[in-house]
């Protein structure tokens, strides 16, 4: 009887042990989070591929500009993209996108990162991650210099007869629709020619990020950037990344931190702004 009871207890112990989940003793180092998500980190795949895929609109100088004649890109964040790719033993490949489609293209895996004057918003942050910011910014008006005293405040702008122009699908349109109720709002589909609408007298005001107004006022003497140091809103520029790839995000954060503190980013920006 004793022997039978012992054998029965041993059988029960073996059955419980077999049913218990296996315990992983793998170190919780780099790659643990992305492995848990079932995909490799871009921190590993980009060097293996030798290409960093960068989503960019190409219509937002000084950050990202596509020369449609040559097919080449330039801008502050285009130079930064080349630096990031080099740090990963890769070369950049630019993937054309739009402001309305940027988040979807990144989320769908068409690129590894989105760069080119991307503003951090809570709506975007629901779908993508953001790097450490590269600069602070905010919406401010750009007008014909002859009208610089007429449109300094939102109250002055939001009047019947004021013609405000915006580009579609981004934070400029979002800001204008949220704050303008009486002015006439026109959506101009091409952000590379939108400032010509003001110069030609077909529009009076555009409200966009202070960095862009400074640059456009520099290349168009007819236009004036109004109080770019005191914009109507606060925002930050950063680089958009796929959600869940914590290893790659940590790497990009560290890279941005170094570039914004050792003078690299400021040097690239000054080359366009000054």
pLDDT tens-digit map of 52-110: 999 999 999 999 999 999 999 999 999 999 999 999 999 999 999 999 999 999 999 99
Q: Does the pLDDT of residue 31 top 90, yes or no?
A: no
What confidence category does residue 38 fall into, taking pLDDT thresholds of 50, 70 and 90? low
Q: Does the pLDDT of residue 155 top 70, yes or no?
A: yes
Distance between CA atoms of residues 81 and 118, nearest Å: 13
What was the pLDDT predicted at 102? 96
CATH topology agreement for domains 43-137+236-271 and 139-225: yes
133 or 11, greater pLDDT: 133
pLDDT-above-90 percentage for the chain = 84
pLDDT-above-70 percentage for the chain = 86
Average pLDDT over residues 152-166: 98
164 and 205 Cβ atoms separated by less than 8 Å? yes
* CB-based contacts of 78-83 (< 8 A; 24+ apart in sequence): 78/115, 78/116, 79/268, 80/115, 80/134, 80/259, 80/265, 80/268, 81/52, 81/54, 81/56, 81/113, 81/115, 83/255, 83/259, 83/264
Least confident of 29-33, 84-88, 112-116, 169-173: 29-33
What was the pLDDT predicted at 115? 98
Q: Does the pLDDT of residue 3 top 50, yes or no?
A: no
**Which CATH number does the domain 139-225 belong to among 3.90.10.10, 3.40.190.10, 3.90.400.10, 3.40.50.11600?**
3.40.190.10
Q: Does the pLDDT of residue 230 top 50, yes or no?
A: yes
CATH number attached to the domain at 43-137+236-271: 3.40.190.10
Question: Domain ranges in the chain?
Answer: 43-137+236-271, 139-225
69-94: b (≥16 Cβ within 10 Å) or e = eeeebbbbbbbbbeebbeebebebeb
């Amino acid at each position: 009887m004793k022997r039978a009871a012992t054998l029965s207890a041993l059988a029960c112990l073996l059955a419980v042990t077999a049913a218990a989940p296996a315990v992983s003793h793998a170190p919780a180092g780099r790659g643990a989070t992305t492995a848990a998500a079932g995909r490799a980190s871009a921190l590993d795949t980009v060097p293996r591929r030798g290409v960093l895929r960068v989503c960019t609109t190409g219509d937002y100088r000084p950050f990202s500009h596509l020369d449609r004649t040559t097919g080449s890109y330039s801008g502050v964040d285009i130079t930064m993209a080349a630096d990031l790719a080099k740090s990963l033993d890769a070369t950049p490949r630019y993937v054309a996108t739009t402001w309305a489609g940027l988040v979807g293209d990144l989320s769908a895996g068409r690129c590894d990162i989105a760069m080119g004057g991307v503003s951090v918003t809570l709506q975007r942050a629901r779908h993508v991650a953001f790097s450490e910011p590269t600069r602070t910014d905010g919406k401010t008006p750009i007008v014909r210099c002859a009208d610089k005293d007429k449109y300094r405040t939102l109250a002055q702008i939001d009047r019947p007869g004021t013609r405000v122009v915006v580009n579609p699908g981004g934070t400029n349109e979002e800001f204008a629709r949220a704050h303008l109720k009486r002015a006439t709002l026109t959506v101009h589909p091409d952000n590379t020619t939108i400032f010509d609408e003001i110069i030609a007298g077909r529009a009076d005001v555009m409200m966009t990020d202070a960095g862009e107004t400074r640059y456009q006022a520099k290349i168009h003497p007819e236009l004036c950037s109004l109080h770019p140091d005191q914009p109507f809103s606060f925002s930050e520029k950063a680089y958009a990344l796929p959600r869940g790839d914590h290893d790659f995000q940590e790497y990009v954060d560290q890279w941005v931190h170094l570039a914004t503190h050792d003078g690299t980013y400021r040097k690239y920006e000054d080359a366009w702004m000054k």
